[in-house]
Every structure is written in C-alpha cells, then in structure tokens.
Chains A and B, each alone.
Chain A
Amino acid sequence: MSRPEDTLPPDLFYNDSESRKYTTSSRIQRIQSDMTHRALSLLDLHSPSLILDVGCGSGLSGEILSQTEDEGTPGGPHVWIGFDISSSMLGVALEKEVEGDLFLADAGQGVPFRPGTFDAAISISAIQWLCNAETSLDSPLGRLSRFFGGLYASLRRGGRAVCQFYPKNDEQKKMVSQAAIKAGFGAGLLEDDEGTKNAKTYLVLTVGGGDLDGDITGVVRGMDGVDVMARPGAAKGGKRGQEVKGSKGWILKKKEQMERKGKVVKANSKYTGRKRRVQF
C-alpha cells in the first residue's frame, strides 16, 4: 500500500470525505486510542495539565485527554489545545464538540505560543507528514527544525512530549529524531511490535530543568526497549544507587542486559560511554 504522505499534501489528503471516513472507522478509533494511552503513560502526568496536541485531527486523542482519571486518563481531566493543517479534520472535531481549543496551523511553520506554555505535548500519527515538503520555499529539514524548535520553546522546563509517528524508513526515523535533539530535547525512541506490520514508533522528548523526572532517565526508568539517543545537559552526579543513563557504567550494564536478551551490541571499547557531540 502506498503511503498517503507520498500522494498528496496533508490538507488535500484529509479532505471532507477522508476526514469523515477516518474518524468514523472503528478500527482507526481503536488504534488511535491505544496509541494515545501509550503516549499518556510515557508522559507520566499526575494532575490536570495543559497539553498541546500536534496534528490533532478530529480530536480522537483530545477526547481521551479530556477524560477523568476514573475513565482511564492518568492525571485527567487535562485541558488541551490542538492544531491541524486540515480544516476538514478540524470541522469534524467541531461537530463532535470536543472540549479542547482548536486552531488551523502548519507544524512545519512553528508553534506560536509563548515560552513555557505547556506541561506536555502529544502528537499521534502526524509528524511523518513534515518529511514530505519539497518546494522552492521549504524543505523537510527546515520544517522539522521550525517544528521542534517551536515545540521545545513552548514547553515548560521539565515538560515532555511524545510523538508517535510512521517513519518511512530508518533514515527518516533518524532525520526526525536528530531534528528534535538539535532543538535541545533529550530524546529516546520506543518501538512497539518492532519488525511487524503493526510496528509503532514513539519519539519520547524531554526538556531539561524543572522537576527531577524532567530528564529522559525518569521517563524511561524501568521501561524496556527505549533507546536513549541524547540527553543534553546530562545530570551531574545522578541518582544514588543507580547508574546514570548514558554513563559508562550504565552503558556497560545495558550492554550486558541486551546481550542476555540476544541483541547484537557493539563491542566495548575505551570510547564506550564517552561524551560525544551529536553530529548533524
């Protein structure tokens, strides 16, 4: 099946009929709901928060954010603001009278909020679209950089973002993650059902500072399978009795664990765990 991203720009692909078809499909509703819950568990919110939903579409995630803790939304009900490039998708959200605020905008143009606005951000099945824009005025790298730069600034210190997306290939996965790291985020990748046709990729992003768990170590503590890519301003000292993620000791331990699990790991070298600047 061809990727919709390769056929049309998003605002044309998600026209009135596609937006309606998308939103009323029970299969899509279930998948988007599962991914939203997964993202929420990674955001680890404990009380009602202000959340940005990037590429919110018809509000399938938003409806979950508005639910209470008893209805299954950790820390809820949250207040959310969503934006999307497709006015048809937003039209469906309006019909459903979702609780969140909506606005029409292109993530590739940035995130127009003052610094430190949001506690968290979520984006489900949207940001792969940023990789398909080749015009004389714009490029995927330019769009990714405006998006992640704007997102980073709009989050409060210690805030987090989780973006589930469908990378076309490894190269695209890398391009997206590196754009986030370049914007200042600590970044990790989580893959569910890796290698199957249901594979799901979550980019877990943290803004340093703020409360203790702001750094990626907190997000992924105890979670198997999250690949930490970078932690700008890595915590000095670290937590007692625990290897600091990214430190040499931690890497060695992780390698051991991975070897036990039968994963291929790079041989240890005297460079293992050295601080490295991320190259672009």
Chain B
Amino acid sequence: MKLLTLNFLTCAIKTCKTSPSSFPLHPRDAELEILETDINLPFLKNILPRLMWDELRTITSELGLPELPPAAPTREDLVEPGAQAAEGEEVEEQPSQTAKDLHRVLLETTVKEGKLACGNCGHEYKVMEGVPNFLLPGHLV
C-alpha cells in the first residue's frame, strides 16, 4: 500500500468517523518496500492540494523516513523551470526534483507488512502482502 493511500484512509469504525484522531492511521511494525513506477506529473499536480501535509510528515517520521519540508510544495514547485516554449510551440512540462521526491514518497514507498492503528479507538488493521484488511466484525460497523 502506497503512502499516498495512507494519506486518505481513515478508521472504518462508525464511532470514529467524527473523531479527528481517527486520521491518519499509524503504521506499526511496518516493513516497507520501494516499488518503482513512472512519474505522473499531471497527477501529482492534481492531488497536491488534497494532501494533508502535516499528517504525511507525521507518517514519514513514524516510519523513520527522511524528514519532509515543513510546508507543502506548490504546484509551481513541481515543474522544472527552464524549458521555455518558443512562440506557438508546446513544450511538455518536466518534473522538478521536488516532484520526483514527492513521487518517491507518495507513489513508490509502500507498506508491505505490518499494522495500521487508529489513534482514536486503537483498532489495528493488519497489512499483508501490501493489502490492508478493513473487514470489521459486525458489531463494530
């Protein structure tokens, strides 16, 4: 499971819906794996405003990854300056180093094994082979 997904997943238990501490889920005993994939600059630009940056920083620090900058990058930060289009010519935007770093963290860094713990109710969701188990026993739904 990509760290991107972890920036959107919340606890599934009904009584946690309204509690701010049910997001983000906290990885425990996590085994990480890097799975390389093509960078998708338009996607990064699209998703950037929807990220919860502080929570992303929390997670990366809990996982012992290099610290992220305190403030989220802007869309402009994701595009390599330079490549000036001549008049009437279209030049495809190139990803900056910031975009490449963000791609690495969000889309290539994955939790392979471990648990995701809710900060509100303490429920732990098991992750096996990169797949978290969100099935709940009936009484918690």
Contacts and interface: CB of A to CB of B under 8 A. Distances in A.
Please say whether chains A and B are actual partners in one complex.
yes
B85 interface: no
B135 A113 contact: no
Contacts of B105: none
Contacts of B135: 85, 104-106, 109
Contacts of B9: 112-114
Interface string A108-123: 0110111011010000
Contacts of A112: 9-12, 134
B11 A49 contact: no
Interface stretch (B59-67, B75-83, B90-98, B124-132): B124-132
Given A102-B131, A104-B131, A110-B12, A77 B40 contact: yes
A113 B131 contact: no
Interface string A144-159: 0010000000001000
Interface residues of B, number: 32
Nearest to A83: B134
Contact of A110 (B40, B131, B141): B141
B133 A104 contact: yes
Contacts of A117: 8, 50
B93 to A, nearest CB: 12
Contacts of B2: 101
Given A90-B131, A102-B131, A156 B12 contact: no
B99 interface: no
Contacts of A229: none
A137 B139 contact: yes
A191 interface: no
B4 interface: yes
A81 B130 CA distance: 12
Given A104-B134, A106-B135, A117-B50, A79 B43 contact: yes
Counting chain A CB atoms within 10 Å of each CB, the highest count among B8, B52, B129, B133 belongs to B8
Interface of A: 47-50, 77-79, 81, 83, 85, 87, 90, 94, 99, 101-106, 109-110, 112-114, 116-117, 119, 135, 137-138, 146, 156
